[in-house]
């Protein structure tokens, strides 16, 4: 009997070695699209993937991917090439409806999962710079975000609507990941840095935070009249006053615009997967935030009110069970 049992075990072991994929046959793969390495989008994706793998090891195998940002995540989700992705709420809205930068490229299969932090528009220059207004960047070398990200699009919109300036024709744009671009300003490679950050210490963003430690810089405020024009054309922007001291050596407050962030999926992702994705984050909130303080607003039920596309049924199921208010669904 022992000989037979030993033979069965040996055959099973050999079969498993020869067919390693079967060891993971019951696991569903989850790809979470973030943004540039080190930036908040990517950090959210990485920590969420880690949390899912730790809490649901027998059900899912999750991984985070570095992509250009919002626009690329919207495209990948629209083509069902990832299961979840982080993007600005306007990008989600435009892709879902096939307007603005997604004209002719509509992705009606996009669905919201949860909200996130408010994504600020920042224009940063060396403290000694003669640039005082956004309109002064004409003819200058300006970093405007990574290719494929939403920040370049946002910056282009605010310059066009607020100041009548086409940045593609009027500035010398430099692209790269956010950390590299902050170094460009520190080292004098560029004259102005257009880069996002959050509104609270946990979401300030490492690139901008580190820059303000290493170099004395100024945050240029958006002009009141420009903001009015921008918000008329793009009502998803919200006015934000950043108090002095959010960043090291930031001595004065400044006024700018922000856009809320959305974690999205697509309608072919199962209700069960989305339900467990949301539940894992919200019901392990303390542990999640201990590892990733910047995730604070991604697990804030109040942020769900700012979503601009319909919720996935799996997410809606969880929120209804918990009595969390959600936007009216179409």
CATH superfamily of 120-259: Periplasmic binding protein-like II (3.40.190.10)
CATH 3.40.190.10 domain extents, the chain = 28-117+261-321, 120-259
Look at residue 119 in the predicted model and tell me its pLDDT: 85
Q: Which residues of the chain have pLDDT under 50?
A: 1-19, 21-24
Look at residue 25 in the predicted model and tell me its pLDDT: 53
Look at residue 330 in the predicted model and tell me its pLDDT: 67
Look at residue 329 in the predicted model and tell me its pLDDT: 79
Look at residue 14 in the predicted model and tell me its pLDDT: 40
Quote the tokens at residue 265. Answer: 């999926």
Look at residue 8 in the predicted model and tell me its pLDDT: 32
Look at residue 327 in the predicted model and tell me its pLDDT: 87
Three-state SS letters, the chain: CHHHHHHHHHHHHHHHHHCHHHHHCCCEEEEEECCCCCCHHHHHHHHHHHHHHHHCCCCEEEEEECCCCHHHHHHHHHCCCCCEEEEEHHHHHHHHHCCHHHCCCCCCCEEEEEEEEEEECCEEEECCCCCCCHHHHCCCEEECCCCCCCHHHHHHHHHHHHHCCCHHHHCEEECCCHHHHHHHHHCCCCCEEECCCCCCHHHCCHHHHHHHHHCCEEECCCCHHHHHHHHHHCCCCEEEEECCCCCCCCCCCEEEEEEEEEEEEECCCCHHHHHHHHHHHHHCHHHHHHHCHHHHHHHCHHHHHHCCCCECHHHHHHHHHCCCCCCCCC
CATH of domain 28-117+261-321: 3.40.190.10
Look at residue 147 in the predicted model and tell me its pLDDT: 76
Q: For the whole model, what pTM was predicted? A: 0.76
Question: Using alpha carbons only, what angle is made at residue 21 by residues 15 and 27, rounded to the nearest 5 degrees?
Answer: 125
């Amino acid at each position: 009997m022992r000989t037979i049992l030993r033979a069965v075990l040996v055959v099973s072991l050999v079969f498993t070695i020869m067919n390693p994929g079967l060891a993971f046959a019951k696991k569903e793969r989850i790809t979470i699209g973030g943004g540039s390495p080190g930036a908040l989008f990517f950090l959210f994706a990485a920590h969420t993937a880690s949390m899912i793998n730790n809490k649901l090891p027998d059900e899912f195998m999750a991984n985070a991917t570095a992509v250009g940002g919002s626009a690329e995540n919207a495209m990948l989700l629209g083509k069902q090439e990832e299961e979840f992705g982080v993007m600005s709420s306007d990008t989600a809205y435009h892709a879902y409806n096939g307007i603005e930068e997604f004209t002719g490229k509509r992705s009606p299969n996009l669905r919201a999962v949860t909200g996130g932090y408010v994504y600020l528009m920042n224009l940063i220059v060396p403290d000694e710079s003669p640039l005082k207004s956004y309109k002064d960047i004409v003819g200058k070398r300006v970093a405007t975000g990574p290719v494929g990200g939403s920040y370049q699009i946002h910056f282009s919109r605010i310059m066009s609507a607020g100041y009548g300036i086409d940045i593609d024709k009027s500035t010398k744009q430099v692209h790269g990941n956010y950390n590299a671009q902050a170094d460009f300003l520190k080292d004098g490679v560029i004259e102005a840095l257009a880069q996002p950050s959050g509104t609270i210490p946990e979401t300030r963003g490492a690139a901008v935070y580190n820059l303000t430690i290493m170099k004395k810089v100024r945050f240029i405020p958006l002009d009141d009249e420009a903001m009015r024009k921008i918000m008329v054309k793009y009502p998803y922007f919200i006015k934000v006053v950043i108090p002095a001291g959010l960043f090291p050596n930031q001595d004065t407050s400044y006024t700018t615009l922000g856009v809320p962030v959305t974690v999205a999926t697509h309608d072919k992702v199962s209700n069960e997967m989305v339900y467990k994705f949301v539940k894992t984050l919200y019901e392990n909130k303390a542990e999640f935030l201990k590892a990733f303080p910047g995730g604070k607003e991604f697990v804030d039920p109040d942020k769900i009110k700012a979503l601009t596309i319909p919720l996935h049924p799996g997410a809606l199921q969880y929120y209804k069970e918990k009595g969390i208010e959600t936007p009216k669904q179409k």
